[in-house]
Amino acid sequence: MIKRWLLVAFLPLSSASIAAPVTPSFTTGTVTSHTESITTVSETIRQVDYHTGSSYTVTGTNINVPGTPGLDCPYTIHNQGQAFQFSETYFGPGISTETFIQRDTTIQSVTDSISVFSQ
């Protein structure tokens, strides 16, 4: 025959806590902190300017421009045998300029702090 024993511990159902005052054992102290961070910002900027109309420009020296300048105007030299300069420019509709900028900016931050306390 096997006998089994049951052990029961009797504890008080309620116990009272008694708070004792805590007295710090220091008189002065310091806390220091050092924080570093590095952030990289990547940017891509793209700007496209469009020209919706058209323009035609004629410039020069010693050139006869008959009537209203146009692509089919017969330009002639004013003083034959003399030096002359002639330039014509035509811009049609489309992209007039395009700007593309890609850059990375690195920002580094360092913070040091110290707190001094005394009793």
Structure confidence by residue, pLDDT tens digits, 59-81: 889 988 776 655 566 788 889 99
Q: Give the domain extent around 112.
A: 32-118
Confidence (pLDDT) at 108? 96
pLDDT over 90, % of the chain: 42
pLDDT score, position 71: 59
Give the pLDDT of residue 16: 59
Cα dihedral 60/96/56/59 (nearest 10): -10
Q: Which of 10-14, 50-54, 70-74, 103-107 has the lowest mean pLDDT?
A: 10-14
Q: Looking up tokens 């850059």, which residue turns up?
A: 103
Q: Is residue 22 part of a domain?
A: no
Tokens of 86: 């002639």
pLDDT category of residue 18 using cuts at 50, 70 and 90: confident
H or E segment to which residue 50 belongs: strand 28-51
* 89: in domain: yes
Number of domains, the chain:
1
Average confidence (pLDDT) over 1-15: 54
For the CA atoms of 61, 64, 68, 71, what is the dihedral angle to 10 degrees?
Answer: -80
The tokens of 75 are what?
A: 């330009």
- The stretch 21-42 carries a mean pLDDT of 87
| 7 lies in some domain | no
Q: Cα(52)–Cα(85) distance, rounded to whole angstroms?
A: 30
Q: Which pLDDT score, from 0 to 100, does residue 22 have?
A: 77
CA distance 119 to 104: 50
Query: Within a domain: residue 61?
Result: yes
Tell me, yes or no, whether 69 lies in a domain.
yes
User: Does some domain include residue 71?
Assistant: yes
- In the chain, the N- to C-terminal Cα span, in Å, equals 70
